[in-house]
Copies of this chain bind each other. A is one copy, B any other.
Amino acid sequence: MDPAPRLRTRRLDLRNGRVDLSHGAGGRATTQLIDEIFRPAFDNPLLAQGNDQAAFDVPAGRMVMSTDSYVISPLFFPGGDIGSLAVHGTINDVAMAGARPLHLAAGFILEEGFQLADLQRIATSMGRAARDAGVAIVTGDTKVVERGSGDGVFISTTGIGIVPPGLILSGDRARPGDQVILSGSLGDHGVAVMSQRNNLGFETTILSDSAALHGLVAEMVHVAGASLRLLRDPTRGGLAASLNEIAQQSNVGFLINEHAIPVKDQVAAACELLGLDPLHVANEGKLVAVVAPEAADALLAVMRAHPLGREAARIGEVIADEQRFVQMITSFGGGRIVDWLTGEQLPRIC
């Protein structure tokens, strides 16, 4: 069939071709997939070395490491795709420790039959997100499973980063009196993704807020320093899950004000339509900060001056509570407990 000589391989058909099992076999087809899709998309000298690992120099100090697997459905959504999300999400997990992200590793689990054009589009988007963030994808892996044993593509990314000397941010550091600051409006990512689910056809112009937050974090660390207790990005489970987790870790409660929490009108409307609470909906470009009261104003000011924190708001405070409840004063002046979800509200949102 193929008259090409032994070592001359026909190039991948990036328009009509599909992933097959040979692309995961570790032989020539795997190498071709890497050479023709991933390497050009991620383009950096460490990856180009072509070893099974990347090697680089690091300074002495405190390092963080974080990993996330991305199974979002659909793969493409308003404001992003699984590729950009896999870059932003893991950069953010690294940044939430106050760290400067250094490098990313990426593992792909492809389903046999997945379109190479979609894979290239995703890889290109990943590469762009990584370049924009100044964080290279330095090593990776590709596996292929039979048709029906996966779902298009799953991506696992792992990030490492360097924490500035002396800075310790951790979920167990919230103290009564600390202020809670949210960087922007809730629920954009979840609503943007839900709008694409074919069983939930509603119209919205909302885009996912998927973004890399390490630039914002660097400015926050610069201005607040040791007054910053912790940062967390309210992804799966939303702000409700983040605050409840922190309450458990720090053995405190929270008192937050619903009217202070920014939620876009369209997001609020979509949530009402779907029976969702914006506090439970996933975000991919927001963070919540817990900060000592004396540093709260300065922190809020620097956040509002950053493009990713323009709508930052002080939404409440940490209180002493052995029961570790997250309490909310509602917009109507009542009070309620903000629990985290026991069940699943939005499967495969990230």
Contacts from A to B (Cβ < 8 Å): 6-7, 9, 20-22, 24-31, 49-71, 93-94, 96-97, 99, 103, 105-109, 138-146, 148-151, 154, 156, 158, 160, 163, 168, 170-172, 232-233, 235-237, 241, 245, 248-249, 282, 323-324, 339-348
Contacts and interface: CB of A to CB of B under 8 A. Distances in A.
Contact of A107 (B52, B62, B156, B344): B156
Contact of A25 (B140, B142, B344): B344
21 contacts: A7-B323, A24-B71, A24-B344, A26-B237, A28-B340, A29-B342, A29-B344, A49-B170, A49-B172, A52-B66, A53-B94, A53-B97, A58-B62, A65-B158, A67-B107, A69-B142, A69-B143, A71-B149, A144-B344, A149-B151, A150-B150
B340 A65 contact: no
A22 B65 contact: no
Contact of A93 (B26, B52, B245, B348): B52
Contacts of A55: 62-64, 97, 99, 163, 168, 170
Contact of A245 (B31, B56, B67, B236): B31
Contact of A65 (B6, B53, B343): B53
Nearest to A94: B53
Q: Which of A60, A144, A150, A235 has its CB near the most chain B CB atoms (within 10 A)? A: A150
A199 to B, nearest CB: 13
A188 to B, nearest CB: 17
B51 A171 contact: yes
Number of copies: 2
Contacts of A158: 65, 67, 105, 107, 156, 158
Contacts of A138: 65
A109 B71 contact: yes
A63 B105 CA distance: 13
A28 B66 contact: no
Q: Considering residues A140, A154, A232, which has the most beta carbons from chain B within 10 angstroms of its beta carbon?
A: A154
A248 B57 CA distance: 26
A66 B54 contact: yes
A109 B156 CA distance: 9
Given A25-B344, A27-B237, A145-B348, 18 more contacts: A22-B344, A24-B348, A25-B346, A27-B341, A29-B343, A52-B66, A52-B96, A54-B64, A55-B168, A56-B64, A65-B105, A67-B141, A68-B141, A69-B142, A109-B156, A143-B154, A146-B347, A156-B158
Contacts of A49: 170-172
Given A151-B145, A237-B26, A343-B22, A62 B67 contact: no
B145 A236 contact: no
A275 to B, nearest CB: 16
A37 B169 CA distance: 26
Nearest to A148: B148
Contacts of A21: 343-344, 347
Contacts of A64: 53-56
A6 B99 CA distance: 36
A323 B6 CA distance: 10
A146 B346 CA distance: 12
